[in-house]
Amino acid sequence: MELHHFAKHTDQIEAIIYQQTLTPPEDWRTSAAFRALNPMVRVPVLVLDDGRSIPESAVIVEYLEDAFPAVPLRPADPVDHARVRLLIAVADNYVMRETFPLFGLFDGKTPDEDAIQAQLAKLDSGIGLLNGLLAEDAARGPFAFGGRVSTADAWLVPVRYTLEGLMRFSGRTHLLDRHAAVAGYARSLRESPALARVWDEMEEGLRQFMARRADA
């Protein structure tokens, strides 16, 4: 995933959008050139115009904030910033991380229902934590925190989209029934055209992936 032209964009949200949407070369898992960009052999990787690369989404987001300070997505107040970081930590460590094993579990030829239930319980507990944080701040507006787009939204959009994908993939459409704030975030993010665009492009990416999978 390369972002050669990100410097043309005027704010970080545009750059973050490109982080989400540009696709790496087909052979990225085996390519020596890709390994040189990111020894962890994972996407995303931000490649600067001068060829230097920055892997790891958390590092990329912080770099974009440092490189484009004109439109800050980090709150100036340290306590508010801590809250944004907490949202990110909970979304990443207790929600996103618990979704990954489930895709594998649901994809098995003979799904192990006990293992699925155990993993769904862990995920439900993480979603509950995130839901609590979102609900506490809901009165201030549609976004993750403070009624304006922040770096927390850069995390929350893909996390919420992943939950959407998991519900569709597994047919377990009830996963967010008890978590109204997390469920409703899919609607409220559309108040920002940039966040809506990230969601729509992830949707299109998944559609293409599923079509390729069905053909294979």
Give the binding site for ligand GSH (CB under 6 A).
29, 42-44, 56-58
Taking the least distance from each CB to ligand GSH, the nearer of 56 and 62 is 56
Which element (helix H / strand E) includes 46? strand 45-47
Taking the least distance from each CB to ligand GSH, the nearer of 29 and 35 is 29
Q: Which residue is nearest to ligand GSH (CB)?
A: 42
Half-sphere CA count of 185, side-chain side, radius 13 A: 36
Taking the least distance from each CB to ligand GSH, the nearer of 142 and 150 is 150
Q: Minimal distance in Å, beta carbon 180 to ligand GSH?
A: 27
Q: Minimal distance in Å, beta carbon 38 to ligand GSH?
A: 9
**Quick check: 24 and 34 in contact, CB under 8 A?**
yes
Q: Minimal distance in Å, beta carbon 162 to ligand GSH?
A: 9
Which is it for the CA torsion 197, 202, 207, 208, positive or negative? positive
Q: Minimal distance in Å, beta carbon 172 to ligand GSH?
A: 21
CA distance 124 to 112: 18
Taking the least distance from each CB to ligand GSH, the nearer of 56 and 137 is 56
Q: Which of 75, 74, 43 is nearest to 57 (CA)?
A: 43
